[in-house]
Amino acid sequence: METTKQNMEAITRTDFNFEGQKSVYHGKVRDVYNINDDLMVMVVSDRISAFDVVLPEGISYKGQVLNQLAAKFLKETEDIVPNWVISTPDPNVTIGHNCAPYKVEMVIRGYLTGHAWRTYKTGERMLCGVIMPDGMKEHEKFPEPILTPSTKADEGHDEDISREEIIARGIVAEAEYVKLEEYTRAIFQRGTEIAAEQGLILVDTKYEFGKKDGKIYLIDEIHTPDSSRYFYSEGYQERQDNDEPQKQLSKEFVREWLMAGGFQGKEGQQIPEMTSEFVDSVTERYIELYEKVSGEEFNKDASANVLERINDNVSAFLKDYYS
């Protein structure tokens, strides 16, 4: 575990052995435990990644922020598409259906920002088979949100891919992919409405889907700072008119800090030193985002031993579930 100056220990690795556990997958941020090929126990760590690289220091409370925000937004979109969640028995844990994931991430962008802008400013006007209009400025709203899917890589970088290629390569059957598109647009619209109520603009995000017993489920997390980008709506147009940077709530500031230090995840590049001051500032930004996006106060869990707490809470749930 890593410890920041002001905060509790950050969870950078888990190694649980739950009853009925068949395997564990350690992702960039989440550790996913397979229980009896029936349930997935997703432990959201405090690891942080950028440019598909896990950074060397953990961010205290980040896992709690992500897990609790995701639980809230999955609940608020379950009328649109069923999701994988059965229970959130711990601040850092979600337990749900063990779905076979589709090998694509459904990325949807309402504004010309981030990766889309970095592509656009090179003169390229096509992203994932979608044509972006000429004459746009950074952070400008697209006439309609665009879908720019990516392949879901087990390791390394995800890659842009077009709708046509997904279908042609048989990654997702056409009828099912059309359904994923419909769900993506509907969830993004709901997220946009929820954000507007909090004085925010949902700029872009990604969704992941899986399948179990022939049924499509929304899986993983949604509308968190790891998967989404937000602008403050107040002053947005004025900043655009004056060619000023937008005020963002997202992980983009971490990417910008890395780029300023000469790191973009490319071979041979070194991650800048993550000082305790910088790590604490990232914690503060995640908590700020939680409170702004949810409209609720963030309550830091003060457990003396977080790993023991997680183990006890998950074990109690599984015992009750299978009894």
All domains of the chain in start order, with CATH: 21-99+251-321 (3.30.200.20), 101-249 (3.30.470.20)
* pLDDT of 266 strictly over 80: yes
Answer whether 278's CB lies under 8 Å from 51's CB.
Answer: no
pLDDT tens figures, 208-246: 999 999 999 999 999 998 889 999 999 999 999 999 999
Answer whether 231's CB lies under 8 Å from 203's CB.
Answer: yes
* pLDDT of 84 strictly over 70: yes
Instruction: Give the pLDDT score at 1.
Output: 37
3-state SS, residue 73: helix
d(CA 226, CA 304): 26
pLDDT tens figures, 154-202: 655 679 999 999 999 999 999 999 999 999 999 999 999 999 999 999 9
* % of the chain residues with pLDDT over 70: 96
Q: pTM of the entire structure?
A: 0.89
* pLDDT of 101 strictly over 50: yes
Strand partners, 97: 39
Q: What is the mean pLDDT of the chain?
A: 93
Mean pLDDT of the 302-312 span: 93
